[in-house]
Structures are given as structure tokens and as C-alpha cells.
Amino acid sequence: MTEAQTISGADPHYNYGYLDEQTKRMVRRALLKAVAIPGYQVPFGSREMPLARGWGTGGIQITAALIGPSDCLKVIDQGADDTTNAVSIRNFFARVTGGRTTQKTAEATIIQTRHRIPEKPLRADQILVYQVPQPEPLRKLEPSEVETRNMHAWEEYGLMQVRLYEDIARFGHVATTYAYPVMVNERYIASPTPIPKFDNPKMDMMPALQLFGAGREKRVYAIPPFTRVRSLDFEDHPFTVQSWDKPCELCGSRLSYLDEVIVDDHGARIFVCSDTDYCEERRQDGEGA
Amino acid sequence: MDTSLFSQALSQEPLLQVQNMSRFYGERIGCRNVSFQLWPGEILGIVGESGSGKSTLLRCLAALDQPSEGEIQLADGGQWLDVPALPEPKRRALMRRAWGIVHQNPRDGLRMGVSAGGNIGERLMDAGERNYGEIRRVARDWLARVEIDPDRIDDLPRHFSGGMQQRLQIARVLVSEPRLVFMDEPTGGLDVSVQAKLLDLLRALVRDMGIAAVIVTHDLAVARLLTDRLMVMKDGVVIEQGLTDQVLDDPQHAYTQLLTSAVLV
């Protein structure tokens, strides 16, 4: 397909990428600022989208502001490409841009995600867009927005450490398993919500650009390529990720994040890869059972 | 009085200097023309009836409020810091490092949803401590110092009695070893026997650590037990100040005479 044909596939009743051009410029300006100050939450004029707040409106606005005719979009929800939200968002962009979409991590140039970072390492020519429900890592500890902004401004992050302390005191280990706070570029604490802490190490020095959008909270933030991302911990309680006793039931991977799935009415359960594209590719390559 | 501390105090520069400080609320006077100096290791009491400007003065001193006129200067490493004019990051850093505030109601000073150990450890973690075992050790040590069973380190403050909450608050403030502590009615709302224990504890801690303190109270017995020097306030003005025993035993101002004769101390 040529570029012209791709664009002509778009629904003519909408502007390219759904948002009007002024709004896209506004979002891009916010994104440029976010990239310039890694981890800093930049306010932006979040728009109404044809989808409820909290369903990924922040991520969709970022994708809409970035996507061009040559882009190829992949959408992940809970690691899977075939869940309702992922399918709907992919179809939405196919309709308003007429552009290409894919389920293959390697083919995508923009990957919009909720809950996971793909298992396959990302490249420098890819952009990872996160849908973020709660951008403020300090929110549960400090209800005042004015106060949390001051705490970020003056790097007063002792309170964040108190939260980890409380976890260890209560459970013997840091029991936070998702939205595990990270220190970006040794300056701002950011929330990688809502990915599991299993994916936290992948954020460190990632070649791809990582953008975070929170539509309801009207904030974007970013981690530029090759930026240091450190998960918070204590010297004597270092950061660890989840591990499983068994490999994936379908592809036999011991390296990926596994979901527990109930398979019959008698409570039998198996563990399978949450990243469906990764799992499928391994099975096609003749791995696993 | 411990003479070594006394000579130490005499040999040093004052820690805090206040000159002609006033705080007006529009037409009304919060406090007016207050001047005093506070030396390291010294405890200054501010007494007076309700509405006499004690808390206004304390709030200005602790940089929680801005004075309308006058100067507040804090000694910091050989130079004088103009407290009301400090930029916010510097002020907040000082509030965490150099001074502490003990509130009348422990709920204002504690994080009620965080365990006792977390409450004590917060200032350590603010200062960059990242070793869990060390934070636990210091927290246990401080619980013992304020006479709370160290085994209750993981209990929430809301499961503590009022007196214990107040002692926990004191541990939380003193753990970072501040040079200056502001206390607003630290024994308010506690029964008499608990008050007495708390006063003993405070006196011992403050003397041991050589901390300077400003204590606001309406209770002359507390002033007598804890303070070296006393300021008596009425209608926003300091009407008498001097050594505590001197002020209480030989009051000069009519109002101070009235105040001291009203209670047995």
C-alpha cells in the first residue's frame, strides 16, 4: 500500500487521528516538555474522548497526537492483543487514521499499553505509550496536590520510603506488586502504574521512548530513551521481581510474566504467558508443549 | 541547675534572636514588639491566658506563619539566617533537620495510618537513611527512651493511649536530633499523673541532648518544672520576662501576680 491509499482508508468524517490539529499541537508541546524533564508530570488539556475516563483516554490522546501515516500501531491490554479494550482501541485508530495495525511487537512503531511492557526487547525506533490511571506516586500517602507538587519540587521523598518500610514491617517484604515507584534519572519519583514490578527492570536504559498519559488526571510524563530508572528499595531489602515455580503451560517460557488461568469448573488452573504475542511466536518457533 | 550546661550556654552565641516582632491580623493584634534571645540548651517558657498571643508567637517562630514586622534570626554554622525571608526549600530543609514541632494534639504531628516505627523512621528516611535494619534499631531505641514497649513498633498510633501518642510524637521529633524544638501545650489534654511522667521524660531528654526549646503553656506548674526562663504574655504583649523562679516567686507585674496567686505552684 502507498501512503496516499493508507490515508484514504480513514473515516472522512473525522480529522486524521480523531483530535483536531490544535489539540494535537497542545499534546505534543506537553510531551516535549515531559521528555525534557524525565519523570516530571506535565499538566495538559485532556479532552473528552469517545470512551470513558479511566479506560485509557490519556494513552489514546498521546497516540493520536503522535501517529502518522507510516506508523504501525499495536495495543496491549493485560498483555494481550485480543481483549475487548485492546481490540476497540486498535479498531478506533484504524478507523480514524486508516493506518496499519499489528499484533506483532517487532512490527509496531507505536505500542499503546495497559498493564504490561512486551517481553520482546523494544528498539530505538519504537515508542511505548502507557495508559495511566494514577500518575501521582505520592497520592496514597499525601492527599494534597499542592503538597505533592512541593515534595517533587524539593525532592522530599522520605515519605515514599515510609510506604516501603510499612510493607516490610507488615509483611516481611515489599508487598507492592504493581505501580512500584521508580526514581527516574536520579531526580523525580514516578509511578510506572499500572505495570507489575516484574516489568520495572525493563524500563531502565530502554532504547525506546516511554510516554505516560493520564486522561482523567490530565497529566503526561516521559522517560526518554536510555534513561536510568531505579526501583526504590532498602540496602538490606533489595528490589526483587515476581517469580514462578513452573514455566508457561503453552510455550514453556521461564522468563516471562505468567497469568493464572482457571480452565474448568473444578478449579483446575494453569499458568500461561500474559504477553500473547510473545507466547504465540514461541509456539510457532516450535518451543513448548 | 547543671553548671557545665550553664557555662556552655554563656560561652556561646545565641541560637535564636527575635527583635521587635509583631504579627497583626488586620486591625487585631496577634502579638506585638516581642524581643528575646534563646541560647543553645536553654528552655524558654511562654505563659499567658488563652488569647494572649502565645500560639501566634510560636507559629511565627516555627516559620508556620509570617510576622508582620520585626526580625527572627537563627544561628546556622556561624551566620545568621533571616527565618521569615528564607526561600521555601531552605525553610523546609531546616524544618526537617534543625528544628522540630511538638503539637498539642498528637494527631496533628503523627501519621495515624503509619506504624509507630514508620512514624519515628520518617525523619531518618527524609535524611536519606536507606537501611531497613538500622531504621528499626533506632526506632526501637527511641521507643524505649520514651517508655513505650519496643515490641509495639509495628502497632498503629491509633491503638495507643493519648499519653503514649504524645510520647511517640516526641520520639518522632527528637529522633533527628534537632537543635531547637517548639512545643505547643505538650501536656494539654492528659491526666495529671501522665502529665507528670511526660514532664520528667521531656526534661531528661532535653537536658541529655542539649536541645533548646520554646514551650507554650498555660500551666504554670509545667513552666516551673521544665523551663529556665519565662515570658509572660497578655493581650499580645510580653509584660514580664526573666528567670522562671524569679518570675514565679517574685512577680513584678500586676497581671503576673494575679496569675501566680491564682494557682498553687
Residues of chain B found within 8 Å of residue A153, distances taken between Cβ atoms: 89
Of A158, A166, A168, the CB nearest to B126: A158
* Total tally of structural domains belonging to chain A: 2
Residue ranges of chain B with pLDDT lower than 70? 1-11, 264-265
A72 catalytic, yes or no? no
Residue A183 lies in a domain: yes
Put simply, the answer to whether B130 touches A150 (Cβ < 8 Å) is no
Active-site residue, selected from the candidate residues A39, A59, A99, A215: A39
Q: Are strands B99-102 and B180-184 parallel, antiparallel or unpaired?
A: parallel
First vs last Cα of chain A: how many Å apart? 38
Q: Rounded to whole angstroms, how far apart are CA atoms A213 and A134? A: 10
Put simply, the answer to whether B114 touches A162 (Cβ < 8 Å) is yes
Tell whether A218 and A271 lie within a shared domain.
Answer: no
Residue A10 lies in a domain: no
Q: Rounded to whole angstroms, how far apart are CA atoms B39 and B43? A: 8
Q: Are strands B69-76 and B43-48 parallel, antiparallel or unpaired?
A: unpaired
Residue A86 lies in a domain: yes
A251 catalytic, yes or no? yes
Tell whether A130 and A261 lie within a shared domain.
Answer: no
pLDDT for the residue B89 = 85
Last residue of a domain, one of A193, A211, A231: A231
pLDDT for the residue A30 = 98
Mean pLDDT for the stretch of residues A177-189: 94
Torsion of CA B100, B103, B107, B109, to 10 degrees: -10
Tell whether A183 and A288 lie within a shared domain.
Answer: no
Residues of chain B found within 8 Å of residue A165, distances taken between Cβ atoms: 117-118, 121, 125, 132, 135
Residue A81 lies in a domain: yes
Of A154, A159, A168, the CB nearest to B132: A168
Q: Which domain does A248 fall in, by range?
A: 242-289
Tell whether A132 and A221 lie within a shared domain.
Answer: yes
List the strands of the sheet with A188-190, edge to edge: A188-190, A182-184, A229-231
- CA nearest B22: which of B240, B242, B233? B233
Active-site residue, selected from the candidate residues A17, A58, A98, A248: A248
From the candidates B97, B115, B130, B153, which should be mutated to test the interface with A, based on the most A CB atoms within 10 A? B130
Residue A174 lies in a domain: no
Q: Are strands B69-76 and B16-25 parallel, antiparallel or unpaired?
A: antiparallel
Can you say how many angstroms the Cα of residue B27 is from the centroid of all Cα atoms in its chain?
29
Q: What is the residue-wise DSSP string for A66-101?
A: H--TT-EEEEEETTBSSSHHHHHHHHHHHHHH--EE
Tell whether A247 and A130 lie within a shared domain.
Answer: no
Q: Give the helix/strand (H/E) hosting B22.
A: strand B16-25
Q: Rounded to whole angstroms, how far apart are CA atoms A86 and A94? A: 12
Q: What is the DSSP letter of A210?
A: E
pLDDT for the residue A202 = 96
Label residue A288 by pLDDT band (50, 70, 90): low
pTM of the complete model = 0.83
From the candidates A161, A170, A173, which should be mutated to test the interface with B, based on the most B CB atoms within 10 A? A161
Tell whether A189 and A256 lie within a shared domain.
Answer: no
Per the omega criterion (within 30 degrees of 0), is the bond before A143 cis? no
C-alpha dist (Å) from residue A108 to A56, A118, B54, B70 = 19, 11, 67, 65
Q: Rounded to whole angstroms, how far apart are CA atoms A107 and A72? A: 7
Q: Contact at 8 Å (CB) between B154 and B115? A: yes
A279 catalytic, yes or no? yes
Q: Rounded to whole angstroms, how far apart are CA atoms B107 and B105? A: 5
Residue A37 lies in a domain: yes
Tell whether A221 and A277 lie within a shared domain.
Answer: no
Q: What is the DSSP letter of A178?
A: B
C-alpha dist (Å) from residue A248 to A198, A272, A280, B67 = 15, 5, 12, 67
From B199's Cα to the closest Cα of chain A, the distance in A is: 30
Tell whether A280 and A184 lie within a shared domain.
Answer: no
From A151's Cα to the closest Cα of chain B, the distance in A is: 10
Q: Rounded to whole angstroms, how far apart are CA atoms A68 and A7? A: 9
Q: Contact at 8 Å (CB) between B42 and B9? A: yes
Residue A163 lies in a domain: no
Tell whether A120 and A186 lie within a shared domain.
Answer: yes
Single-letter amino acid code for the residue at B106: P
Quote the Cα angle for B20-B26-B32, to 5°: 20
Q: Rounded to whole angstroms, how far apart are CA atoms B143 and B167? A: 9
Residue A106 lies in a domain: yes
Tell whether A67 and A131 lie within a shared domain.
Answer: yes
Query: Facing residues of A112 across strands?
Result: A75, A129
From B157's Cα to the closest Cα of chain A, the distance in A is: 13
Q: Are strands B229-234 and B69-76 parallel, antiparallel or unpaired?
A: unpaired
Tell whether A266 and A124 lie within a shared domain.
Answer: no
Mean pLDDT for the stretch of residues A133-149: 91
Q: Give the CATH number, domain containing residue A63.
A: 3.40.50.11310
Tell whether A214 and A251 lie within a shared domain.
Answer: no
From A161's Cα to the closest Cα of chain B, the distance in A is: 7
Cβ–Cβ contact A159 with B under 8 A:
yes
Residue A65 reports pLDDT greater than 70: yes
Q: How confident is the model over A108-134, as pLDDT tens digits?
A: 999 999 999 999 999 999 999 999 999
Q: How confident is the model over A238-249, as pLDDT tens digits?
A: 999 999 999 999
Active-site residue, selected from the candidate residues A17, A58, A215, A279: A279
- CA nearest A206: which of A224, A187, A182? A224
pLDDT for the residue B193 = 81
Q: How many residues does chain A have?
A: 289
Cβ–Cβ contact A4 with B under 8 A:
no
Q: Contact at 8 Å (CB) between A131 and A56? A: yes
Put simply, the answer to whether A165 touches B132 (Cβ < 8 Å) is yes
